Structure 1
């Protein structure tokens, strides 16, 4: 391959790809041999020294016929009676004109009638070309029974098939999805001693290519070049059709005549009937030709496409080079195929170079060419080039087709370019172009992923109103799936149960994705209900339905339901896969039901499904979690016998089993064994050992492993948490805080549990403000606190010397799930720790809420505003509380007294104190001390001392009264017991006297 070209040295003509380059003065270009294109192992050879003027070809149907043909065709369209339509041309039509008339017939029945009329004329000479035309028409209409009858008829007429006949039959059978049957015609050729010509060979290669039998296609071509025909290799090709019918006659009527005598292979009783047989090659003659080469453009096009689909890029390039070197002119299909191969494999520069070669040869691109470039630039994310090429399609006088719009819409939607998608939709609407149905779920998914559910709904409604076709169930399934992925089960359900157009019945795929939507939302009852109701709607669950439902139930730890569904699946004749058994088994294992997990394991074996290391791992872990180490070790042995060596995962499970039963020496020995072999123990095994040592108070051993993890950079949140818990339980608070601080610095506070552990350490050590800071950090990092978090926060609030009544009130509100309880707790925490800015932010959340608030929320707001010095707002909240009909409680009075003290409003303090003094409100120790502190804050120590004396007397008096009440209650109880004893003895005396 000494002559080649490269895009680098091209003197390109102006095009949409290279708008700034000058036009070549001539399409004939000679380039030096050194110029080639190399990219990622793909070599493109473009020989330019064989250029010749472009030949343009037009299809028969697009020609303007001369002579009598237009009149005949017009008469046939106008007149149903063939005799009337064709009578003016009796004995006036030549065989070629008859051929053209037959080709122009659109209806197979009409074509057959016209042929029979020709055949009924006295001057008609049977013509194999006519037969080929009829065979093609009948094959394309898939009228296999008529084709069979016609084949028998032409055999009776003595018309022998030619290579063109076989090429036609192979082509129509192959395009109907009957690949195996199409290749049977090669056997018939062999019985007649006919060797395939280039057209037939190319047709066979095309059939094998479409069946994705790339190696067989390449072998058939190589055999043909070597003048061989190996039919045994083609036996592996199967059809898409499986049922028996009239189309399967190739082994009956087809071979009834058997092999013709050699003398009759190329002759007929009609001397001129097989004029096209000139040059027809027999098998014996073919063997005399050592090598043969393709000469047709269509053959090279098929071969290039074959190598492209087989991912043999070098072979495709070499074939293109050979085509040019052989003087075979490439056409539009050639360049489109080569450009598609380059674009599909990311060779952008080669694709652009090929486009320029097209222009040099004056081959005008079609819409398919532009679509390939749109797809290529879309995948590379070059939005501007996509839009530029879309504009160039119209500038070239072409019209974008459905593929153009679908490619652009899909790419823009997947990249969430909403504005570009909507601009394209507006243009399509303006031009009256319908949106392709395949684009609907992709556009919907874009809106759904962006959270624009209303826009997605409006788009779907508009499409249903404007589209001339109803959306298929498969498209609805894709839309439901997009909603399911984002957790919008109710919206998915609305589409599923919505009214459809007539004839648009839900199929099983739609049920499958709706079950998935329920599963993602953990609505298992709804999923089961939908599954059980499928058959009543005429829809039978398929294997995907069962697998999806079983996986869903297993992941939700509904092990019994999953097992029951597995049984139904087997009853319906489906064979569960390994993953299906594994999910049910793992579900039982996770829930500690090792015995049931073993039953699934045994059922798996009975079904002929071999377990893998995941199944064994689940069983070993189940026994280890239950502390049944012996059974876990037994399954390790079975695992090794099955060919799966024990790994760190199963060893870690056994260590967990040892730790459950306190066998620390055995665990230590196994851990050391893991350290001595392979990659060493994983983090889970190390953390398990730390936890085991911590539970046993073995501080030195735990610290040794922890320090080893720290040095290697493998310590995770669980490692730090174990050490913190151990230090706290041992009373080593300084060490616990040191670990907590290191954990923060290491960036390991990534989840709620890690925050809880550090906050608990700070709380125990009295570092309450650090707890508040971490709590705020959780919210800022969008980590939701859990019950353990709030337990720590309540501990902090109690340690912060807050009135016990205030903390208890909030704790009750949280446990009852009251609205805004969490925000109120956060506000109080920040306020107590003097983080007033954050406290007021939290207050604003619930104070601006439209729904009614409970007293705890108002109380927190009064406290927060008062603590931050905003007394007016605190008193305003108190007034608002009364306006909505919520009376003050003890916490309200405490917070108001504190605010009055800070504001110096002595009268306000006196008013609340007098209520307590005269028992309008119950005596409360927290309110008493709050009053004392408030007077001191207001500068009235005298009143503070007075209250102190009065209240001490009141509390002492109340204690005496309580003691007296308790004594009276005890005396009453004794008297009641005495009366019961007297009744008992009197009843006994009566009974004795009766005796």
Structure 2
């Protein structure tokens, strides 16, 4: 499928229904709609049924659903008690119900009830109550209690506390059954400890309960962990007595090798092998399941399909999906989501849409994950219209745009410049809704990356759902947005807002602020923030110190940079090669070779080797003192490092040889650069200036032509180098063409360029008085003088079209030009034969009280002498002006002289 170009919607629900606030730079791109055949038509899938309307048959006793007294509880079976306890949504109700059950006459302590209660308390993070329940258990902890508590602890973010239970089981002599073994294997897998997970599984299969692969100190380093009270039991000799004789006996009397019997265990192991990179073991485990009397279920197939997709085996994943029906396993929505994820990983949009459309055909319902995968794929391809169609399909089905997709959609709009659509989407789907602070930050970041600080600020200040407060991440993104846009003054009010909201800065906040002020040229403010960061208890990293040191270096604050370097080392932060490079380059720029070499030695003493950048800085340092031998040795060292020196180092050596007029050595480097197509404008300019300074004008002009034809000149200095050759040769035409190239490339000529232009014009091409008038206007800083000089140059060599373009720009109503520019424009029009235009301009000068110079008067007489021009003079009323002004010239002979000079100039042009 060929992605269609994005285009704004013509009233789709995704972007209508709200008016976006005005934003700076808001715009809406116009894209042509794609052909009808290329549009994607998304099926309108119904939403999943709500839990309250589920038709799943459940027949619990009425008293089991709403127990109103102890008599109702007494009539229930232990299984019904377990079911009722499990369905409690609040830990307090679960705690209360458990106590009521224990108070029932004849109640026998049930290990499953304890397991359910522990799960409730762990999920609610009620650690004091959990400890009370654990220590007050009437029965020794069973496998079900350990498994339930470990699972809940891991899901609550306390994997270390969960693993601590393994040592507690070992100390008490409770060997893991398959359920608890599977639980701990899954926890180790989710923690990325694949080797430990496999070791624990293989020990269990061999009939051993070994936890030697776990380090107790590593597991229990947190003194404030929720399960630290178990350490006292583990270290109690009386408590550990059952295990003193050796390895604990297996429950149910099983000894020796065994294999799993639960499908959940196989599923966990398949996922474990896959994530550990052992695909063959995962496939073998899947194949062995029927042989061991365990049939794979939907979740097992989903897991293996996902593993195959992660390994890039898309075809095998499709084969397994097709074989699920043959095996009698019905795919669910997650199965289709996994297949969509597989194709998303290889960028196959057709595959994603294929399985999305099959969800409805299978009688299933698309969920938020399904929608998120499709929207992600469309937004990554900037397919705005198709994404809007998908959003409309989601809304039509009664669902909502997934919250995780909102930043992705907003980023798509921002990246393609559809800011109006982005704001409209935000107003409808995000403002005032329960969008998390994390996703608000991601939306703001889409604008911040583009430097759109006002739009990011609008998101930051937008209305939130009650209770949805700004997190520190949002403030950090705003710091980034202000920094990118150099809005440093706004940071102070942002920090005040943080204090008012009682949001504490984190390490990222300080790092962002320090980076911002360092890059923005405020090293002292950055240093103050660095001190404040340390006072707040955060340890700055090497990159943070490096930013401030670099800022000091750019402002030539050498002592401050050295002091901070020493402070960095005293704080125990080891400088990296970037920090050393900054210091070495700082001293190289100031010509302090001794200090540059000192820090280069420190770099090598710390176990690092100088890279090409540092060696280049040292070459620059040596070149300050014309130490070409030392620089040459470093340049040879760079060659021995593999490859060839970069263009910066080569140009540094080239410039050094040029300063010392070492033509042979310079030519050797230059020829090497040109052979490898590495020479840039600086390389050519250096050789042009070298040959010119040595009097080798033909060689200089040859290199200048090569530079001009190469398309490499990208700055004024490169163009000036070429122009200097043309000036030396006295070639006005080539000089004018070069200036025209600069104008087309939007590279303004500098003072050196204009100096060479005046020098050429004085060299016999134009009267000295006329050049003096132009030069005087330029030196006086007249607004239009630069354009007038260039237009005059173009006109002199016959580049009339280019000269007319400049004159048309100068004569626009919004421009206010001086007499010099008017005279140049008159001469340009006269030289191009635009007599009526010249007369009209002459009249405007008269109306403005601007007197023409002598050359303009001569041009006027020349125009007057052309056939048909006299009638124009009479018509426009110039005869009187001519009689009054031209006759007042010094003498008739002088007038004749000027006219002859002017005729010669016209003949030349």
TM-score computed with the length of structure 2 as normaliser: 0.80
Match of residue 699 from structure 2: 735
Match of residue 444 from structure 1: 410
- Quick one: which of 95, 101, 125 aligns to 2:78? 95
Match of residue 481 from structure 2: 517
Distance 1:347 1:318 in 2: 16
CA distance change for structure 1 residues 840 and 324 in 2, over 3 Å: closer, same or farther? farther
CA apart distance, 1:104: 3.9
* 1:650-687 CA distance string (max 9 Å, x none): 44433322322234455456556766886665543432
- Quick one: which of 57, 61, 72 aligns to 1:64? 57
Contact 1:617/1:649 (CA < 8 Å) preserved in 2? Answer: yes
Does the residue aligned with 1:293 lie in a helix, a strand or coil? coil
Report 1:127-146 matches (<5 A).
127-146=110-129
- Quick one: which of 404, 414, 425 aligns to 1:459? 425
CA apart distance, 1:301: 0.8
CA distance change for structure 1 residues 826 and 575 in 2, over 3 Å: closer, same or farther? farther
Larger CA deviation: 222-231 vs 855-864: 855-864
1:479 and 2:479 equivalent?
Answer: no
Match of residue 631 from structure 1: 595
* 1:881-901 CA distance string (max 9 Å, x none): 89xx85555379668777666
Distance 2:339 2:890 in 1: 84
1:351 and 2:311 equivalent?
Answer: no
- Quick one: which of 147, 152, 160 aligns to 1:167? 147
Match of residue 468 from structure 1: 433
Distance 1:312 1:677 in 2: 39
- Quick one: which of 377, 380, 402 aligns to 1:414? 380
CA apart distance, 1:141: 3.9
Contact 1:188/1:255 (CA < 8 Å) preserved in 2? Answer: no
CA distance change for structure 1 residues 616 and 192 in 2, over 3 Å: closer, same or farther? closer
CA apart distance, 1:725: 1.7
* 1:132-182 CA distance string (max 9 Å, x none): 344444444444444444444541xxx444322322222222222222222
Match of residue 48 from structure 2: none
CA distance change for structure 1 residues 634 and 153 in 2, over 3 Å: closer, same or farther? closer
CA apart distance, 1:407: 2.4
Distance 2:471 2:862 in 1: 69
Distance 1:154 1:369 in 2: 41
1:572 and 2:536 equivalent?
Answer: yes
* 1:65-96 CA distance string (max 9 Å, x none): 44xx34224543xxxx324xx44x85x54433
Match of residue 176 from structure 1: 156
Matched residue count: 841
Match of residue 434 from structure 1: 400
CA apart distance, 1:299: 0.4
- Quick one: which of 330, 337, 344 aligns to 1:378? 344
Match of residue 580 from structure 2: 616
Contact 2:64/2:80 (CA < 8 Å) preserved in 1? Answer: no
Distance 1:249 1:139 in 2: 15
CA apart distance, 1:210: 2.1
- Quick one: which of 722, 726, 733 aligns to 1:758? 722
* 1:378-412 CA distance string (max 9 Å, x none): 34333333333332223333332222222222332
Higher-RCO chain (CA-CA 8 Å, sequence separation at least 6)? 2
Report 1:778-789 matches (<5 A).
784-785=747-748, 787=750
Contact 1:901/1:935 (CA < 8 Å) preserved in 2? Answer: no
Match of residue 916 from structure 1: 885
1:403 and 2:398 equivalent?
Answer: no
CA apart distance, 1:298: 0.4
CA apart distance, 1:450: 2.3
Match of residue 890 from structure 1: 852
CA apart distance, 1:291: 1.7
CA distance change for structure 1 residues 187 and 63 in 2, over 3 Å: closer, same or farther? farther
* 1:805-834 CA distance string (max 9 Å, x none): 784588479x5777xx88777766655554
1:200 and 2:180 equivalent?
Answer: yes
Distance 1:736 1:641 in 2: 46
Distance 2:792 2:596 in 1: 51
Does the residue aligned with 1:291 lie in a helix, a strand or coil? coil
CA apart distance, 1:219: 1.5
Contact 1:179/1:238 (CA < 8 Å) preserved in 2? Answer: no
CA distance change for structure 1 residues 875 and 317 in 2, over 3 Å: closer, same or farther? farther
Distance 1:240 1:412 in 2: 46
Distance 2:418 2:823 in 1: 39
Contact 1:227/1:286 (CA < 8 Å) preserved in 2? Answer: no
CA apart distance, 1:635: 3.0
Distance 1:143 1:698 in 2: 81
Distance 1:375 1:926 in 2: 90
List gaps (5 residues or longer) in structure 2: 1-50
1:222 and 2:202 equivalent?
Answer: yes
Larger CA deviation: 413-422 vs 523-532: 523-532
Match of residue 18 from structure 2: none
- Quick one: which of 272, 281, 301 aligns to 1:306? 272
Distance 1:171 1:626 in 2: 63
Distance 2:501 2:83 in 1: 53
1:548 and 2:503 equivalent?
Answer: no
- Quick one: which of 547, 568, 572 aligns to 1:604? 568
CA distance change for structure 1 residues 825 and 177 in 2, over 3 Å: closer, same or farther? farther
